[in-house]
Amino acid sequence: MPKKIVAANWKMNKTYQEAEAFVTDFSKKILEIKKTGVILCPPFIALFNIHEKLKNTVAEVGAQNMYFEESGAFTSEISADMLKSVGAKYVILGHSERRHIFGETDQVIRKKIDRALEKGLKPIVCLGELLEERKAGKTLEVVKKQFDAAFDGLSKAEMENCIIAYEPVWAIGTGETATPEQASEVHTEIRKMLIEKFDNKTAENVTIQYGGSVKPSNAKELIESKNIDGFLVGGASLDSNHFSDIVHAVEEYLK
C-alpha cells in the first residue's frame, strides 16, 4: 500500500443495493489512480460484495470495527477472522463514535489492535480530542495518552502495519474542518511520538491521516500540509463524485 492513503468511513449508511451502486460508479472514476492508496469501509453487510467488485481496481476494503475475542458467545459481534474471510484488509479502531457513543475505552481499543495485528488485519487507529479539551489546551496531552495506550510495546513491524487517523472530535460531521495549520501541528507531534517510541524509519513509514469534515474543497490544502498523509473521510465519502474528487486531489499532489 502506498504511503498516502484515502479511506472512506461510511458509518451506518447505505443499504446493500446503495453500496453496490456506489462501487459500480466509483470504480470507473479511479481508473487513473496509481499512487494513492484507496480504502472503502462500508457496513459489514456490504463488505464481501464490495471486495468482489473492487478486485480489479486499486481500492481495497476495510471494516469499521471488530471485537477482540476470537470467537464464541458474543452476540452480534464480528471477529478478525470473519472480516478476513470476506476480503477485509483493514479495520477502523477507536473511532470517536465508538469511544463516545459506545463507551469504548483505551484498554478495549488496545485489545482490538492487538488482535487485528495478530490476525494480519491493518488497524486504522483514530485519535483525537474533544472541543472542550482543545479549548482547555489539552489537545496534545489527550492525543499522547490515546497514542501510548494504543501503541506502547508494539514492535516496529507491528507499528508499520498500523495507520493513524488524527480526527479532532469537534471537526467530525460538523462541517468545521481543522485548519491545515491546526491539523499539521498535531500530525507533526504524532510523528515525533513515533520517533520517540520507535525510530525515524518507522515514523516515516507510518501513514498519518487527517479526518474531520474533509471535502473536495479542502482536500488540496490539507494534503499539501506537512505530515498529512491522507484522509479518513465520513460524510463526503458517501457521494462517489465527492470521494473520487478527494482521491484525485491526493493523486494530483503526488504527480
Question: Is residue 211 within the footprint of ligand PGA (CB under 6 A)?
Answer: yes
Minimum Å distance from CB 88 to ligand PGA?
Answer: 17
Q: Is 234 in the site for ligand PGA (CB under 6 A)?
A: yes
Residues 6+ apart with CB under 8 A from 55: none
Q: How far is the CB of 215 from ligand PGA (least distance, A)?
A: 8
The stretch among 149-157, 186-194, 216-224, 231-239 that binds ligand PGA (CB under 6 A) is: 231-239
* Residue nearest to ligand PGA as judged by C-beta position: 234
Decide if 242 is catalytic. no
- Known catalytic residue at 252: no
The residues in 5-44 that bind ligand PGA, with binding defined as CB under 6 A, are 9
168 touches ligand PGA (CB under 6 A)? no
Q: Are strands 37-41 and 5-9 parallel, antiparallel or unpaired?
A: parallel
| Listed ranges 20-28, 100-108, 149-157, 228-236: which one lies at the site for ligand PGA (CB under 6 A) | 228-236
> At its nearest, how many Å lie between ligand PGA and the CB of residue 7?
8
**167 is an interface residue for ligand PGA by CB under 6 A:** yes
Contact pick of 15, 52, 100, 173 for ligand PGA (by CB under 6 A): 173
Interior CA angle at 243 toward 91 and 183, to 5°?
70
Positions touching ligand PGA (CB under 6 A) are 9, 167, 172-173, 211-214, 232-236
Catalytic residues: 95, 167
